[in-house]
Structure 1
């Protein structure tokens, strides 16, 4: 396979690049040059937000294109139109955020979608932008557009700060607020499992939308945090705390305590996707212990400080908030 990845140097893009190179595919990356590409990939430089930013893509043809863009749909629109006659398929790494909120647990791919999206819009809002990106890909490639609607993504190279925050906090040891309930189910995808499924899908010529996340209840909050304790080998004591106590202390789910959502509407929306379509096409999900251990190995290999996307706020509980909830 001749593969063009728009991006390809950070988190999801890097996992895709590493996996494709591991298959012996011929991989070309189009990116701005801010990060070192994986060895073995050909590189084309350009800034798709700049005038004439796609000049480096004027020539060449590929079996498939994978686009990891997460901002203005207009950038997807321009790239997809420029490549429509020179690639068999176009995979756009989208998000389950494209569904209208709230969405019930068990929602399949034909559920209601965000209104107001445009394929040529400038940056507006993450969910609307992702839906606009889908429309842009479909507008250029039709049923050859693969819409990879990912949920929570974890694993090595994470640059958002969710699992790295938990690993870093637990590695420091001592009492750690653990938000309950212990059996609170989580639904996520290891970035490497996302990459392997996406590569299989473009190889096989799949098109249309796919919810791409592990099965509901693939793990629980307790299993995740216990795996963090084991991976770090830390002398940490998980202090399991009722959701009402956590919320009563003014702690924000998802941001102050990454990954965690209390039972309720938002939890059902984010952690209850129907993924039967992806499972039927070969999605395989590794155990949470492997995701956690491999992320810790990667994190320690780079000095313990994970990279942080400049367009995302830092996550995690402040020491003051932690002391408050532990004292409560």
Structure 2
């Protein structure tokens, strides 16, 4: 199979390229060359998907069996890409997000209806937030691409090469040992998925010619917060001592949800971790144990010098050491 990956050098795109080459596919990547190095053995085409001339140069004289779009965030930009790629491939996989589903995470998801946020397929970056715009991107691909369209509404992705840097921050912090501020309830059930499992599922469906939409994430409760941090401790061989600090204490001190303490949400927001996965599982999705994901992520990360580790591509994740010390001292005082 001959595959075009739009992106291909970051976290998700790199994993698609690695899986494609492992399956023996011929791979072309299209990106600006800014997010990372190219994987060996691919044809790397430099260009910006927001520049029509670059897209036209990409498709000139080329055809593929499959397009994988890992970097679409603005509907009108995605629609232009899909329109120009039509006729140059029979199938298109667009990687979206659970956040494109209307009401998520405050309302239950109906896997049979897949109601999206209201967003036009020609919307611009100013017309919504991340999830809303992704909904518009889904519509844009389905409207503009003449061929089979597979939509992957991915959950929270972890694994090697993660550039959002939630798990890498925790691994690095815990590897330092000592008293570690651990947020909320260690028994809080989570719902995480290895990026490699999402990618493998995507290719399995594409190989069968499936045109559909799937929520693709791990099973609900496949980890607790305590287990996740425990796996980080085991993987790094750390002597870390976790100090579990109550949600209300952290909220009073305006600790940033999900960013300042990566993956932390108060117990009252636990519905975030309850997306249904039955449809994808029935189609063949299998999620590996998260302990394996954590182990493999550390095996990748530990070879990168700490001063070269990046904790987020759009925003910096993690808590400054002095902030952690201040919060722990305040928690100790309150507990005493």
Same fold (TM over 0.5): yes
Structure 1: runs of 5+ lacking an equivalent: none
TM-score after normalising by structure 2 = 0.91
Match of 1:20 in 2: 20
SS in 1 for 2:186: coil
Match of 1:147 in 2: 151
Match of 1:43 in 2: 44
Alpha-carbon distance, 1:14 to partner: 0.2
Give the whole-Å Cα distance in 2 for the aligned partners of 1:21 and 1:201. 17
1:219 aligns with 2:223: yes
SS in 1 for 2:66: strand
SS in 1 for 2:262: coil
Contact 1:44 1:57 in 2 (8 A): no
SS in 2 for 1:134: helix
Give the whole-Å Cα distance in 1 for the aligned partners of 2:46 and 2:174. 40
Match of 1:104 in 2: 107
Alpha-carbon distance, 1:245 to partner: 2.1
TM-score after normalising by structure 1 = 0.93
Aligned length: 324
Alpha-carbon distance, 1:148 to partner: 0.6
Give the whole-Å Cα distance in 2 for the aligned partners of 1:255 and 1:179. 12
Give the whole-Å Cα distance in 2 for the aligned partners of 1:201 and 1:138. 17
Alpha-carbon distance, 1:309 to partner: 5.2
SS in 2 for 1:37: coil
Match of 2:259 in 1: 255
Match of 2:54 in 1: 53
**Aligned Cα RMSD in Å?**
1.7
Contact 2:86 2:147 in 1 (8 A): no
Give the whole-Å Cα distance in 1 for the aligned partners of 2:228 and 2:110. 24
Give the whole-Å Cα distance in 1 for the aligned partners of 2:321 and 2:303. 26
Give the whole-Å Cα distance in 2 for the aligned partners of 1:82 and 1:39. 27
Structure 2: runs of 5+ lacking an equivalent: 332-336
Give the whole-Å Cα distance in 1 for the aligned partners of 2:146 and 2:267. 38
Alpha-carbon distance, 1:308 to partner: 5.1
Alpha-carbon distance, 1:214 to partner: 0.4
Alpha-carbon distance, 1:122 to partner: 2.2
Match of 1:323 in 2: 325
1:173 aligns with 2:177: yes
SS in 1 for 2:125: coil
Matching residue within 80, 83, 100 for 1:81:
83
1:114 aligns with 2:120: no
Contact 1:148 1:211 in 2 (8 A): yes
